[in-house]
């Protein structure tokens, strides 16, 4: 059937028709009471209509070349043998981007035990340090030594280290970061040693514009500082990823991720670099989980959908019992993985590029968030940039 004639037997209903019906049903109550005050300067109407298409256009660039994403999982590393066992179990269950969360510095021998039996050439391998006195450069060189001693082609290594100098150091070691990027250029071109960690900026839907503004302000600061160390903005962009948290506000989180891509493209343009889509690692915010394990389990599907439609490159679904401050179990980790398997294998979310494009509501929220965040970013820059 021709799509253009699919609804030809039905009378067209304009937005005015709908509004008149709503006003009648409100019985004297003001229509404005149905608006959603997302932020102080962002008020959203209760519904959008195809008539809005004249005023809301799709924002670009939004979409990457592939709609697929990597299934992530947190692997908490305290004991090497236990962590290795969990890691192998997760990979067997279909994880593609494990995040190894280290709670103490590890040496070369411990790293070998942790990665024993893992084919690092068919996954992306990510590391985060969750202790004081972080040593990302030491960890980075341990990794290269391990790969070289194992006769692994460094060109086949994909992954990252959560190295965010402006977050974790009073005197940010930008020089060390620059050297790591240069090493990646020479030896390991698919590894990202810089993370713009935006998770701590997350304050819920009502603070989305500020979250975006701080995120791009930090990213802009990195581009400027690395440029002084001989790393051009386009090169720095190729070796970074942005870590973002999402909450339970379905449409707002979709729009937030899409807006972030637009904003980052603007930042790159300002530095004279070609606009490109940033690599996004998306995490569930802790406050989005409560003590109801099965509620978290159900909610994970819509949270995951918002991340994927928004354009996540890697997604980390929290095990449903994390809201109780419990250690994840084999069962809760498996369910967290399977949410993403279902969205790929049964719902085919990995086959549609930028599924939110053309949705008047999502496009409108994307535009408003991007505009508000850009104005806040300009204010930050006038006040002395992110630092």
Residue 106 sits in a domain whose CATH number is 3.20.20.240
| Assigned domain for 88 exists | yes
| Assigned domain for 34 exists | no
Where would I find the beta strands (DSSP E) of 40-189? 42-44, 70-77, 97-102, 124-129, 158-161
CA-CA-CA-CA dihedral for 112, 115, 121, 126, to nearest 10: -110
Query: Which tens digits make up the pLDDT trace of 30-77?
Result: 888 888 888 888 888 887 777 776 655 555 556 666 789 999 999 999
Cβ within 8 Å of residue 295, ≥6 positions away: none
| Assigned domain for 46 exists | no
Minimal CA–CA distance to 192: which of 135, 235, 233? Answer: 235
C-alpha to C-alpha distance for 285 and 248, rounded to whole angstroms: 9
| Residue 219 and residue 237 in contact, taking contact as beta carbons nearer than 8 Å | no
| Residue 33 and residue 62 in contact, taking contact as beta carbons nearer than 8 Å | no
| Assigned domain for 41 exists | no
| Assigned domain for 216 exists | yes
Q: What pLDDT is stored for residue 63 in this prediction?
A: 66
Q: What pLDDT is stored for residue 229 in this prediction?
A: 96
| Assigned domain for 15 exists | no
Return the exposure string of 286-296: e unless at least 16 CB atoms fall within 10 Å of the residue's CB, then b: eebbeeebeeb
Minimal CA–CA distance to 159: which of 70, 30, 278, 230? Answer: 70
Minimal CA–CA distance to 46: which of 57, 30, 62, 58? Answer: 30
Q: What pLDDT is stored for residue 253 in this prediction?
A: 96
| Assigned domain for 4 exists | no
Range of the domain at 84: 70-382
Q: What pLDDT is stored for residue 59 in this prediction?
A: 52
Q: Are strands 194-197 and 42-44 parallel, antiparallel or unpaired?
A: unpaired
Element (H, E) at 174: helix 174-186
Q: Are strands 70-77 and 97-102 parallel, antiparallel or unpaired?
A: parallel
Residues of the chain with pLDDT under 70: 1-4, 53-65
Where would I find the beta strands (DSSP E) of the chain? 36-39, 42-44, 70-77, 97-102, 124-129, 158-161, 191-192, 194-197, 240-246, 280-284, 314-316
C-alpha to C-alpha distance for 113 and 7, rounded to whole angstroms: 62
| Assigned domain for 74 exists | yes
Q: In what order do the strands lie in the sheet with 194-197?
A: 191-192, 158-161, 124-129, 97-102, 70-77, 314-316, 280-284, 240-246, 194-197
Q: What pLDDT is stored for residue 54 in this prediction?
A: 61
| Residue 156 and residue 119 in contact, taking contact as beta carbons nearer than 8 Å | no
Query: Which tens digits make up the pLDDT trace of 11-42?
Result: 888 888 888 888 888 888 888 888 888 888 88
Angle between helix 250-270 and 360-382 (nearest 10): 50
- Counting the structural domains of the chain, the total is 1
CA-CA-CA-CA dihedral for 287, 255, 374, 283, to nearest 10: 40
C-alpha to C-alpha distance for 67 and 310, rounded to whole angstroms: 10
What pTM does this model have? Answer: 0.91
């Amino acid at each position: 059937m021709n799509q253009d004639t699919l609804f030809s037997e039905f009378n067209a209903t304009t937005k005015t028709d709908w509004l008149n019906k709503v006003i009648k049903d409100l019985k004297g109550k003001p229509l404005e009471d149905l608006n959603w005050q997302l932020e102080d300067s962002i008020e959203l109407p209760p519904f959008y209509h195809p008539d809005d298409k004249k005023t809301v256009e799709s924002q670009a660039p939004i979409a990457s070349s592939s709609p697929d994403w990597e299934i992530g999982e947190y692997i908490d590393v305290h004991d090497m043998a236990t962590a290795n066992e969990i890691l192998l179990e997760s990979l067997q269950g279909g994880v593609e981007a494990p995040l190894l969360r280290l709670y103490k510095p590890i040496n070369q021998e411990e790293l070998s035990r942790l990665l024993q039996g893992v084919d690092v050439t068919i996954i992306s391998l990510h590391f985060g340090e969750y202790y004081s006195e972080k040593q990302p450069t030491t960890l980075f060189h341990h990794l290269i030594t391990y790969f070289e001693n194992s006769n692994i082609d460094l060109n086949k290594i994909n992954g990252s280290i959560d190295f965010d100098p402006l977050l974790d150091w009073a005197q940010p070691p930008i020089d060390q970061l620059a050297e790591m990027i240069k090493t990646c250029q020479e030896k390991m071109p698919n590894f990202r040693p810089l993370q713009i960690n935006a998770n701590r900026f997350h304050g819920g839907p009502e603070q989305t514009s500020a979250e975006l503004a701080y995120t791009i302000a930090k990213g802009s600061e990195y581009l400027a500082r690395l440029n002084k160390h001989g790393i051009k903005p386009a090169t720095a962009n190729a070796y970074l990823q942005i870590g973002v948290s999402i909450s339970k506000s379905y449409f707002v989180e979709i729009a937030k991720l899409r807006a972030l891509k637009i904003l980052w493209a603007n930042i790159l343009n300002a530095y004279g670099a070609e606009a490109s889509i940033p690599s996004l690692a998306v995490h569930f915010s802790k406050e989005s989980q409560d003590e109801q394990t099965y509620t978290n389990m159900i909610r994970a599907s819509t949270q995951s959908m918002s991340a994927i439609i928004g354009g996540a490159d890697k997604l980390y679904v929290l095990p449903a019992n994390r809201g109780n401050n419990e250690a994840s179990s084999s069962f809760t980790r498996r369910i967290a993985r399977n949410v993403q398997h279902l969205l790929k294998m049964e719902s085919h979310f990995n086959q549609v590029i930028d599924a939110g494009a053309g949705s008047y509501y999502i496009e409108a929220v994307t535009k408003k968030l991007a505009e508000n965040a850009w104005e806040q970013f300009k204010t930050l820059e006038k006040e002395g940039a992110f630092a």
